[in-house]
A and B are shown apart, each in its own frame.
Chain A
Amino acid sequence: MTMPTRFKEPAGTIVEAPPKVKRKALARREVGRSIPRLESHAKVTGTAEYIYHLRLPGMLYGKICRSTVPHGRIVRIDTSAALALEGVQAVITAEDIRTVIFDPYYGPAFHDQPILAIDKVRFVGEPVAVVLAKDVHVAEEAADLVVVEYEPLDPVFDEVAAAKPGAPVIHDILRPAGMFPDLQHLKGKAGSNVALEARVLRGNVEKGFTEAAEIFENVFRSGKVIHATFEPMVSLAELNGSNGLTIHTSSQSPSFVRAEICRLLGWPENRVRVRTAFLGGGFGAKLYIKLEALVAACTLLVRKPVRIGLTMEEQFYTITKHGATVRIKTGVAKDGRIVAREVETWWNGGAYADIGPRVTQKSGFTAAGPYDIENVSLINYAVYTNDPPAGALRGFGISQLVWAYECQNDIIARSLGIDPLEFRRRNVLRDGRPHATGTIMTNAEIDDVLDQLAARMDWDRPFDHGSGTVRRGRGLAIGFKAAISPTTSVAIVNIYGDGSICLSISTVDMGQGSDTAMAQIAAETLGISAETVRVIHPDTDVTPYDMATLGSRSTYHMGNAVRLAAEDASAQLLRIAATALQANKEELEFRDGEIVSLTGIRMTIGDVMRARFGMQAGNVIGMGTFTPPYSKVDLRTGQSTQITPFWMLAGAAAEIEVDTETGRIRVTKLVNVGDVGCAINPGIAKRQLIGAGIMQLGFSLFEEMKFNEGQVINASFADYKIPGMLDIPADLSAGLVEVPHEHGPYGAKGVGETGMFSVSPAISNALYDAVGVRMMEMPITSERVLRAIRESKNRPLEKD
């Protein structure tokens, strides 16, 4: 007897060739227009739907009892006092979870994170138990009554120390998740905190250094910061019929949530429904699984709807950006050309991997910067520590790397006496040249970015550096990112009996304006007005698969899927109309929301539907699926012929004032330029650049999570300041470089993260220009700046 052969996808194949942009003679009507956002009215009246506000009949509120030690064995959990509090319905621990989910570990890269702590805790704030009650205040009070006894273990917090042999081991074993194609190579591991070591090798870096005229070596650090989404993370679960579950969640990745919950439960995907609404911010915090598995397990245990919504404080214990240590060594020739660059990066992933391994390898391979360098060696370590887990934050690690290579480039340029802008012009990676991974750079307008930056800064004009105690400086930086690959988006255009149109997609509008942009793409394709398109929010029972809303991938991936779906629907409508009009399909076209024949006969889309179904009835459904090509990475060398569907190029420049007596930096001008392909909605695209720039301004100057033995000690807006109106530069602008990407939907590519990349080194380079001090660690707080200024004058301040 032979076993049936299971279908297996061949590794590293090209899944589907991307469609080429058709260049129509007709002027575009919908794409390229800065139309007001579709949800404007709902947002200004306070009626926009957020899951945080959802109340289900009969639901229980869950409050989490969290670990108080950074690393320890759980000796005993005593829930009796919590259970005794009037109104408490249940106190749930890992033991209970295991009665409904046998193997309750989750994660997109490794199955390393328990739904509630099992045997051991690995960071302060880790969920250990959940109290359920009808009254949220009762649940909160009872969560404090759960007594947990720990046997402390040695913790490790620093990423470089944690990667060394002999460091306390945080996970005894590691099990790879095996879900995503780009993470298939992760291996089970034991005895080390290094979850992944990713390498890119090109040329011969040692030889390059021997040939260099000068060598520079520096270490740059970035601290931990947090997304601080204003709608805190929240998930609700309820039973759906006799064998299903519905999860309402403020998530950027409903399709992943469904798959992961079903894997945990051993259910087929059609038994779990996951829906989202508008998100009150995402920025990468609400990706993969956060609270969804916990509410699902609670609901299965108590057979009632359960809601767990975090407070702002709790978000600080849930997911952060990676802290990173970057050692960067660069060899340059006499003429200022970079001939060799070696970068070693330790990524502080915290206690659970979350998506850290992807941050490590995907951003890691860009660590040499957007430069044409013959000899490159990049090594990236994803490291476990006893900090809260680190994951994606608007850029997947890019800004930590740009911080290093752009600060160092400034050091090099100044040391060689070359203008910083000119130094970059001599070294940038231009179209047609291979990147360190071997992938050829295409559709990346780096020179245009530099030109626009220079023009907006009047870079060639003399600059007033101030005098007395207030000094002025200016600096610039460029950065880039590869989009995630390979991933899939599916879209459905649904035409109703009256001719009105819905777009069903699982892209999550978390503030970036995807509803509007996707409606514009559908409308452009169908020759209708974007304002008439209704976008159905993600509901896995209704909207088709999408990998996730992350990594600036939606405009390109979902945008292409939407265009294909709209083309499919329009082809069907034209066929029906041709039959009705007894005309050739080719003689018909969409114009102003109607189908018009050569002879001037017009049919509305509603007329077409009535022609097909004999009355206002039926549906015409257009489908679009998009998966860009990808070529698997050689794990030894990091080489790939097609590592990304598109590159995102960015540049920022800043003018600052520094008070030399206080160290305070005031950014007076900030310019952010992004290569966006063609903007679907230029207003929204610019706002993405501006908003990201403001967020990164906070990360650059003052945002930093402070820890004491693993305990976050500034987990509140009272102590962790984010940018407000008074922090915004008076002169703040964004520039779009618009050259159509040949495979983008109407030439577009992603923009959500672009504005983050270059801001920090631009400010730090401006600081050097102003007062001649070089900052090696982010954020560049007033205190750090003042210490550096005083040290440079041989009058150091006392240490704390």
Chain B
Amino acid sequence: MNEQGRTIRFTLNGRAATANIAVYETVIEVLQREFNLFGGRESCGQGLCGCCTVLVNGTAVSGCLYLAAFVDGAEVVTVEGLADRGMLHPIQEAFVAKTGFQCGYCTPGFILMTEQLLKRHPHPTDDQIRHFLSGNLCRCGAYPDIIEAVKEAASKLEAEGPNH
């Protein structure tokens, strides 16, 4: 470790991971360069659109602002970590069923925020959905379908029990 670079060790989608990073690099840059994971993606570059959402220790963060150095020792989950051996997560299934996307660029961010939302509010009201997801933007305007997808995901998760 020196002032330009260091090595970080963390858990990425359930597996041990190591990366050599520059101190100024963000989580998104490192996930893309070192792990070929592009589900977290930069768009507005200011943490305002939600496309870069990743979970760090179970909390959604803006990966385009979150320095990679800070995930040393942490548990990181990206949208690629949601599907279980090719089986879609119920939230992902719900986004497919309700077409909660158009161009798809913002979709991973919405899916991860939905995961956070449903942990806190397993039966969210429309207002709760709108407020919780207000930090995620969608330029295509798929919002009504996203709201339907969230509701569908809530009922799927309830039907499947506490394993998720």
Contact = CB atoms under 8 A, between A and B. Distances in A.
A183 interface: no
Given A45-B88, A46-B79, A725-B143, A231 B103 contact: yes
Interface string B79-113: 11011000010001001110101111111100100
B103 A279 contact: yes
Nearest to A37: B99
A690 B144 contact: yes
A278 B104 contact: yes
Nearest to A313: B45
A interface, size bucket:
35 or more
Given A45-B83, A230-B139, A511 B103 contact: yes
Nearest to B105: A280
CB-CB nearest 8 A-B residue pairs: A46-B39, A511-B103, A694-B141, A280-B105, A43-B104, A691-B141, A511-B102, A46-B79
Most buried by B among A137, A313, A722: A722
A45 B102 contact: no
A41 interface: yes
Nearest to A281: B103
Interface string A496-523: 0000000000000011110000000000
15 contacts: A41-B96, A44-B92, A44-B107, A50-B41, A229-B139, A283-B139, A684-B99, A687-B99, A691-B141, A691-B142, A718-B46, A724-B135, A725-B129, A726-B130, A730-B126
B134 interface: yes
Nearest to A511: B103
Interface in B38-87: 38-41, 43-46, 48-49, 51, 78-80, 82-83
Interface in A227-266: 227-232
A614 B48 CA distance: 59
Nearest to A231: B105
B106 to A, nearest CB: 6
Contacts of A278: 103-104
A505 to B, nearest CB: 18
Most buried by A among B79, B102, B130: B102
Given A232-B43, A513-B102, A717-B137, A53 B95 contact: no
B15 interface: no
A70 B147 CA distance: 44
Chain A binding site: helix, strand, loop or mixed by DSSP? Answer: loop
Contacts of A723: 137, 141, 143
Contacts of A691: 102, 140-142
Given A43-B107, A47-B80, A717 B49 contact: yes
B164 interface: no
A44 B139 contact: no
B20 interface: no
A694 B137 CA distance: 12
Contact of B39 (A45, A227, A683, A694): A45
A511 B143 CA distance: 14
Given A232-B43, A511-B104, A36 B131 contact: no
A283 B138 CA distance: 13
Interface string A41-66: 11111111010110000000000000
A701 to B, nearest CB: 14
A30 to B, nearest CB: 17
Nearest to B101: A43
B103 A44 contact: no
Nearest to A734: B144
B106 A230 contact: yes
Given A45-B83, A229-B139, 8 more contacts: A36-B97, A48-B104, A283-B139, A311-B45, A687-B102, A694-B143, A726-B134, A730-B126
B95 to A, nearest CB: 5
A513 B137 CA distance: 19
Contacts of B139: 227-230, 281, 283, 695, 722
Contacts of B152: none
A794 B140 CA distance: 41
Interface in A253-300: 278-281, 283
B145 A687 contact: yes
Interface string B130-160: 1101111111111111110000000000000
